[in-house]
Structure 1
Amino acid sequence: MATLQYTPVDEIEKIRSRLQDGFKTGKTKSLEYRKYQLLQLAYLLKENRTRFIEAMRIDLGRPVFESEFYEIASCLGDIAVTVKSLDKWAKPEGVPFDINWFAMKPKTHKVPKGTILIITPFNYPVWLVMQPLMSAIAAGNAVCLKASENAPATTGLWTELMPKYLDPDLVQMVNGGVTETTRNTEAELSAVSYTGSGTVGRIVAMAAAKHLTPVTLELGGKSPVVVDASCDIEMTAKRVLLGRFVNAGQTCVSPDYILVVKSVQDKFLAALERTYKSFVNGDGPTPPGSFSHIITDRHAGEVILGGETDASQKHISLSVITDVPKDDSLMSEEIFGPVMPILPVEDLDEAIHYINSGDRPLAIYVFADDKKIKDKVRNETMSGTMAFNECMIQVGVNGLPFGGTGASGYGYHTGEHGYKSFRICEQRSTTLSCAVDKILWWRYPPYTDANIRAMKRVMRDGLPAKPKGPPSLSSGKSVSWGKWVMVLVAIAAAAAVKKNRS
């Protein structure tokens, strides 16, 4: 087990002061310097990807494919998009024309908040660090990062590498547990981004409220799956099971439970069993090494698939539990592990009523071919995101906001929505699945070298070359000689036309 050196509590205030002083220097006002920092962050990950994969294996027992696809490749691609889009995102925006004010040329300018505290969990120790961190850097902030002590190998690697790649006046790490996190949240900061449990999220929000500090919360929750009679049963079983298989169910948008219409329950269970066998190469349990570790495990009801455990390896196979009562203790809070309960319902109205009787989930997944069914669930429920005939894939779609609503959180930290500095508003992203399995066949277990090669062909990061050094921070803008040549040519051409006319 890896060990993590905690930050001395009396050093935390000094770290925060250094970041605040670093922000005051004005270095982050330069878009070129922000791009440089973003590319340094990308190459930190790219040049050390083997070490990160090994660290995640130590912390989570993570298969290589999952670390590559769900964490590293997606982060590198997102940074490439951020670097290419930053000029556009940062451009001042005009306002609708108004005869009373247009002469004043009113515009909105996007300015950084200042010093940001980012607190991340153990379950995706790369992706959930990179996403808010790249957004905060792109927006021009200084960052104090508190990564999870429950992923000590990965957090230790971040601690080692960050000072070698990023400006230590603008990005610092604080390691520790409850004491260190509390000391951080008690301070007056410009903004806080927290990803984790709802219980801790409430504590963070209350601490921030003392200073009126804006907060971004991504809290997960119980994300339901609705299986309608009109769906493609085999496809539904495959995609739902994959959603719970990945990272041993330790994903904030993982399908938490299934509401299946009784008329197709038996067909759906049979399809789940066939899919499960295809994932584990036969009738045996999910082999350790191809399936991530868990932190805790829970069982209830009748286990129809999986259920094998190895406490010494923190291993529990993916477990499907059928005929779970709606008031079962398993349904009282988010199941952060490879346990998937199935609740039969008479019809869609019963499913919607059950979803609406609890907290608003981070995601809702609807498997149906009937458009009226899809529209009904979308119109009569609330959630942070929604996907039709897919699971979890909506999180990786460039341009869509990712965040919760109500008890599942608020604010965003992906793409342009994260760049806008944790603006609090309600935006519900949706995706509509198409026949992608022939193209994305490689996302399904069992994971082989062929899966990894195919994934890497698709998930090219598109990063520009690594910078040889930081850009000049001089206030003067570089001269674009090409632009002036075009202007002079145009002036000469106009003069020639005028002369000929005279």
Structure 2
Amino acid sequence: MDYGEKPAAMDGGEFDGERAAEMEAEMREIFRSGKTRSLEWRAAQLKGLVRMIEEKEADIMAALDADLAKPPFESYLHEVSLVKSSCTFALKELKHWMKPEKVPASITTFPSTAEIVSEPLGVVLIISAWNYPFLLSLSPVIGAIAAGNAVVLKPSEVAPATSSLFARILPDYIDNSCIRVVEGSIPETTALLEQKWDKIFYTGNGKVGRIVMAAAAKHLTPVTLELGGKSPVVVDSNINVKVAAKRIAVGKWGCNNGQACIAPDYIITTKSFAPILVDSLKRTLEKFYGKDASESKDLSRIVNANHFKRLTSLLDDEKVSGKIVHGGQRDEKRLYIAPTLLLDVPHDSLIMKEEIFGPLLPIITVDKVEDSFDLINSKTKPLAAYLFTKDKKLEEKFVNTVSAGGMLINDIALHLANHYLPFGGVGESGFGSYHGKFSFDAFSHKKAVLSRGFFGEARARYPPYTPRKQKLVRQLLNGSIIAMFFALLGWPRSG
């Protein structure tokens, strides 16, 4: 496969462990010089990213089309605009984020002042995913830059056009001595993981996530894992079904044709309401993509043949035979699988065991909508969980009962667009979070700083320890103002 021109970090030969070590050492030396720590440097890099987006938008959109046949509307809305928004938000808040946070001092350390100082972790590695190759690469990079780190970005080789684009254009807009792109696949990623980083941020699947964790453990490197899981949608019967169907459909098939970590993976609704929901989803899909969705220009393709075969194997499982109620058509040459609804699939079928990550949507039925909560909690914790209802008590129970990385009531996926909410998983859907200030925090060390003068020397803290001193210390630790007064006077002066 052609990955395009190689970045500067790979010029002059194969990128192996030796080259990776050289690059890491060079970047660490630059980081230690303090170059990346200033507000001015951080702001300049973020402004460069904004300028790159504005000047190279057509190239970015073309790369996304080449990798995923992504509709231009989706490319702009879900990737380009979100990255630009993240940059401008970080620029607006950066000075505030960098400011030390004053915190109260305790009576034990009186008189003193205390603060929390955010300092960059150092040289960080970001390994991104293919399904949103522009967004999922630059979104964590923004946080790493804002926090003052040197950054190595490893884009996904499954999206080669976007990876190549980063390698070609990023050096024109940012400081390439401190922010570098390494292209390649497993050998290059392996070479990078052999090095000692100050943080690794990985977006992808659990299988590779475990490999990343094992490599990081050798150096005690902190890790953020953004994984996935089977994100459920619970649908109550008291809703506006037309609106719900549109929001579910655009959140599933309008998000990269289901190839999104927070796309609905399955629906749970009541047996009595399921036929109504299925009919509404069918009408919505026809309205969105026409009678023959294969002719629609508003539907992304399956990324490659391997993923196509994986998805068709889920459909071909004998346990789901006869469960398709809409769609199911496929065309391997065009990497097309129709938006597909399946009703009452068995819980032990492949499609209910694996994260689907494609245009297939099973619907599970229960007697009571509340039964869905135990069903969700019996599985691994999802990255996102959704509920459609008008019942506030049901909503409260859902929030308090179901464990998930994030939640959204009466819509799909929009929570990730709020800069003030953390985005991340829990359990097997990942750990750590980012977006907005949470991205800055993900790449920062929160350093505790306590400052005292030379006034207020309490002799009671020093040996020799006497009963009188012990009595004073006990009173002091219990908050006695009188004891603090005597301590400040230096009492007791003798045993």
2:481 aligns with none
CA distance in 2 between counterparts of 1:142 and 1:424 reads 14
Post-superposition Cα deviations, 1:330-356, rounded to whole Å, max 9, x if no partner, equal 111110111111111111332111111
The alignment partner of 2:167 has SS state of helix
Could you tell me how far 1:172 is from its partner in structure 2? Answer: 0.8
| Equivalent residues of 2:232, 2:264 under 8 A apart | yes
| 1:77-116 equivalence runs, <5 A | 77-101=85-109, 103-116=111-124
Determine whether 1:198 maps to 2:206.
yes
CA distance in 2 between counterparts of 1:150 and 1:343 reads 32
| 1:123-138 equivalence runs, <5 A | 123-138=131-146
The one-letter amino acid paired with 1:341 is P
1:348 aligns with 369
The one-letter amino acid paired with 1:267 is I
| 1:211-222 equivalence runs, <5 A | 211-222=219-230
Could you tell me how far 1:100 is from its partner in structure 2? Answer: 4.0
Could you tell me how far 1:313 is from its partner in structure 2? Answer: 2.1
After TM superposition, the score normalised by the length of structure 1 is: 0.82
Determine whether 1:315 maps to 2:323.
no
2:289 aligns with 280
Larger Rg: 2
| Equivalent residues of 2:104, 2:113 under 8 A apart | no
Query: Gapped runs of 5+ residues in structure 1?
Result: 426-502
CA distance in 2 between counterparts of 1:423 and 1:243 reads 33
Could you tell me how far 1:314 is from its partner in structure 2? Answer: 1.5
1:407 aligns with 428
Determine whether 1:155 maps to 2:176.
no
1:500 aligns with none
CA distance in 2 between counterparts of 1:207 and 1:338 reads 33
Counterpart selection for 2:180 from 162, 172, 178: 172
| Equivalent residues of 1:15, 1:172 under 8 A apart | no
The alignment partner of 1:304 has SS state of strand
The alignment partner of 1:348 has SS state of coil
| Equivalent residues of 1:4, 1:156 under 8 A apart | yes
| Equivalent residues of 1:285, 1:308 under 8 A apart | no
| Equivalent residues of 1:216, 1:422 under 8 A apart | no
The one-letter amino acid paired with 2:142 is M
Could you tell me how far 1:326 is from its partner in structure 2? Answer: 1.4
Post-superposition Cα deviations, 1:92-147, rounded to whole Å, max 9, x if no partner, equal 01112434435321111100000000000100011001110000000000001100
| 1:176-191 equivalence runs, <5 A | 176-191=184-199
| Equivalent residues of 1:413, 1:422 under 8 A apart | no
After TM superposition, the score normalised by the length of structure 2 is: 0.83
The alignment partner of 2:245 has SS state of helix
2:274 aligns with 265
CA distance in 1 between counterparts of 2:97 and 2:73 reads 33
Could you tell me how far 1:288 is from its partner in structure 2? Answer: 4.9
| 1:410-429 equivalence runs, <5 A | 410-422=431-443
Stretch moving more, 44-53 or 311-320: 311-320
Query: Gapped runs of 5+ residues in structure 2?
Result: 447-495
Determine whether 1:250 maps to 2:259.
yes
| Equivalent residues of 1:411, 1:423 under 8 A apart | no
1:368 aligns with 389
The alignment partner of 1:307 has SS state of coil
Post-superposition Cα deviations, 1:251-290, rounded to whole Å, max 9, x if no partner, equal 1100100011112111111111111111013x22242532
Counterpart selection for 1:392 from 413, 422, 428: 413
1:117 aligns with 125
The one-letter amino acid paired with 2:263 is S
Could you tell me how far 1:2 is from its partner in structure 2? Answer: 5.2
CA distance in 1 between counterparts of 2:410 and 2:382 reads 17
The alignment partner of 1:347 has SS state of coil
The alignment partner of 1:107 has SS state of strand
CA distance in 2 between counterparts of 1:32 and 1:241 reads 44
The one-letter amino acid paired with 1:400 is L
Q: 1:423 to 1:270 in 2, by over 3 A?
A: farther
1:17 aligns with 25
The one-letter amino acid paired with 2:3 is T
| Equivalent residues of 1:19, 1:172 under 8 A apart | no
The one-letter amino acid paired with 1:175 is E
Q: 1:352 to 1:114 in 2, by over 3 A?
A: same
Could you tell me how far 1:422 is from its partner in structure 2? Answer: 4.7
| Equivalent residues of 1:288, 1:315 under 8 A apart | no
Q: Percent identity?
A: 38
The one-letter amino acid paired with 2:423 is F
CA distance in 2 between counterparts of 1:234 and 1:339 reads 20
CA distance in 1 between counterparts of 2:228 and 2:430 reads 7
CA distance in 2 between counterparts of 1:290 and 1:207 reads 40
CA distance in 2 between counterparts of 1:103 and 1:412 reads 36
CA distance in 2 between counterparts of 1:102 and 1:34 reads 36
